[in-house]
Amino acid sequence: MEWLIVFIRFCQLKFNKMRATNHFLKEHNIGLQIMLVAIAVVFLCFNIARPLVDYDEATYAKVVVDTLRSGDLWTFTLSGHGWFEKPPMYFWLAMGSIKLFGVHEFAFRLPSIIASIFCLWLVFLIIKELTQDPVAPIVAFLVLLFSPPFFVFLSEMRMDSGVILGILAALLFFLKGWPKNKFLFWVFPAIAFGFMFKSVIVFLIFPIVLIYSFFYKQWVWLSSKYLWRGFLLSAILLAPWHVAQTLRFGWSFWNDYFVYQVFHRSVSTLTGTNNYYDYIRILWLYYSPWLWLLMMLLVLFLGLALSKKWRSKIPWRQLAAPSLTALLILASFTLLKTHLSTYILPAFPFLAMFIALSFCYFSSVLRRYAHLLFFAILILVVVGVFQSFAAISIVTQPYVGEEKEIGGIYKSNVIDQKIPLYSLDWPSLETLSYYGDTSLEYLNPIAVSGKELKAPFYLTTNVLAATYFLNNQGIPVGMYDHLRVLYVGRFLVLIYSDKDLQMPVFSHQ
């Protein structure tokens, strides 16, 4: 209960006694970290048992379940076919999680939650390594936790938390290796760990290391024997799974694993758009209140840079390293042809570091007003909490609950798994497939217009398309009166037919 005592005592302190506060925070640093981690656990686990969503949680969950069912944990399968799109680490952790807790949504998400908490803790430690200010690590931790994109996506079943963890761990070991060379041994193993989550994305660490080396003028690591010994360990960690897949599947493994998932995403638009302002729009819409603070800080530093009196007092290297790192990540993924919201998640820890280090600078030069700065940050954190929960409501697909229910109905009714489940004019198939434990076949309305559908079958469709079969009360009409309606929701309908069905002639509009 040390963290609770720390929290109570901290709340009792007056913010205008910053020296006493700083002394208190240094004295109870471990308890403070435990308290922050507890806060992160509470918030990141909010609604952790919600239904799995399309693109891509439900697919990942089905890979885990199908692979466990196959008994071959070394090679992943999806609906009986080999699946090579991602490295194995997250899936192995998820398998362990559902072995412990059962096949539940929270069990699939638990590895991501744990990795996200470690990311927050590493950001705390990195700022602690770079500055003596005891408040700045707290600021970095809270800013990152309540950055809406980080809060939303890293509490889902995604590989991003693991690769960010690898990047931050490698950076921390790199920084700690400057005064104590032995820490450099763990840089490459941390990179290997991140690689086993999301492949080459972890290689962002290499330009990051160069940025920090340039600004801090630290190049001794290039000749460190510990660093290169760690490289050998990382090769040992990476080789077994990749060699095994290559020996077993040859080029087909590398075609899916690298050519399609990495190369094609870089040079072609597989999903979304390739507009160069995509990520600016995402930050503008979903990164409040921190985007406004960043813009204000940039204006302030620009003004100070123009002043001869203040120019030399600004810790440029501390501020430039994380800001340029974030800019590098944003620019790199902007140049790719495939733009997904999750790609830029590695930038948010560095934006949080920049904000925290800026706070450290201004609180040191404005000591009389340091308590007001801290109070202002706390207000922004509270705003960030509300914005993060608002972002969850925006990105959460409102129809996944119905997809889960329909999948459950199909699974409980179908004893013979050969009875197909079709999806008419509803292209979001992953959640239905997972909860129905089947492979859906998508029916394009124009392609099946006027054609016969062989019975027996189950058919799910949106409520608008269902009006071709059902009246306003959800009752089959006309030539479709033999259909059995199993579910009618706000978005979706599920029907069953034991007779061949002549499909309606659908409009081309």
User: Residue type at 455?
Assistant: A
Mean pLDDT, to the nearest integer, of 159-186?
Answer: 96
Q: Say whether both 416 and 382 belong to one domain.
A: no
pLDDT tens-place string over residues 456-471: 999 999 999 999 999 8
DSSP state letter for 448: H
Confidence band, pLDDT 50/70/90 cuts, at residue 104 = very high
Q: Say whether both 198 and 155 belong to one domain.
A: yes
Q: Does 467 reside within a domain?
A: yes
Mean pLDDT of the chain: 89
Q: Does 199 reside within a domain?
A: yes
User: Residue type at 134?
Assistant: P
pLDDT number for residue 35: 94
DSSP state letter for 25: H
Q: Say whether both 123 and 266 belong to one domain.
A: yes
Q: Does 367 reside within a domain?
A: yes
Q: Say whether both 313 and 287 belong to one domain.
A: yes
Residue 486 lies in domain: 400-502
pLDDT tens-place string over residues 26-44: 667 888 999 999 999 999 9
Mean pLDDT, to the nearest integer, of 209-231?
Answer: 93
pLDDT number for residue 297: 93
Q: Say whether both 433 and 299 belong to one domain.
A: no
CB 10 within 8 A of CB 20: no
* Structure-derived torsion over alpha carbons of residues 336, 400, 492, 452, reported in degrees to the nearest 10: 60
- Among 53-57, 108-112, 212-216, 268-272, the least confident range: 268-272
Q: Say whether both 428 and 306 belong to one domain.
A: no
**How far is residue 430's CA from residue 131's CA, in Å, rounded to a whole number?**
46
Q: Which of 367, 395, 423 is the last residue of a domain?
A: 395
Contacts of 101 (CB under 8 A, 6+ apart): 107, 110
**How far is residue 121's CA from residue 138's CA, in Å, rounded to a whole number?**
10
- The values of phi and psi at residue 74, to 5°, are -85, -25
CB 108 within 8 A of CB 60: yes
Q: Say whether both 215 and 332 belong to one domain.
A: yes
Q: Which of 368, 395, 422 is the last residue of a domain?
A: 395
pLDDT number for residue 276: 81
CB 161 within 8 A of CB 92: no
pLDDT tens-place string over residues 369-402: 777 888 899 999 999 999 999 888 777 788 999 9
227: closest CA among 191, 254, 263? 191
Q: Say whether both 389 and 441 belong to one domain.
A: no
- Among 94-108, 117-131, 154-168, 437-451, the least confident range: 437-451
CA within 13 Å, CB half, 272: 18
DSSP state letter for 476: B
Q: Say whether both 268 and 303 belong to one domain.
A: yes
Q: Does 219 reside within a domain?
A: yes
Q: Does 507 reside within a domain?
A: no
**How far is residue 233's CA from residue 291's CA, in Å, rounded to a whole number?**
40
Q: Which of 351, 371, 395 is the last residue of a domain?
A: 395
Cβ count near 28 (within 10 Å) = 20
Q: Does 284 reside within a domain?
A: yes
Q: Does 275 reside within a domain?
A: yes
Burial (CB count <10 Å: 0-12, 13-18, 19+), residue 124: buried
Q: Does 498 reside within a domain?
A: yes
Burial (CB count <10 Å: 0-12, 13-18, 19+), residue 44: buried
DSSP state letter for 152: H
pLDDT over 80 (residue 96): yes
Q: Say whether both 98 and 157 belong to one domain.
A: yes
Q: Say whether both 231 and 317 belong to one domain.
A: yes
| Number of compact structural domains in the chain | 3
Q: Say whether both 366 and 416 belong to one domain.
A: no
Residue keyed to tokens 């240094």:
26
| Apex 76 CA angle, 74 and 82, nearest 5 | 120
Highest mean pLDDT among 169-183, 266-280, 329-343, 404-418: 169-183
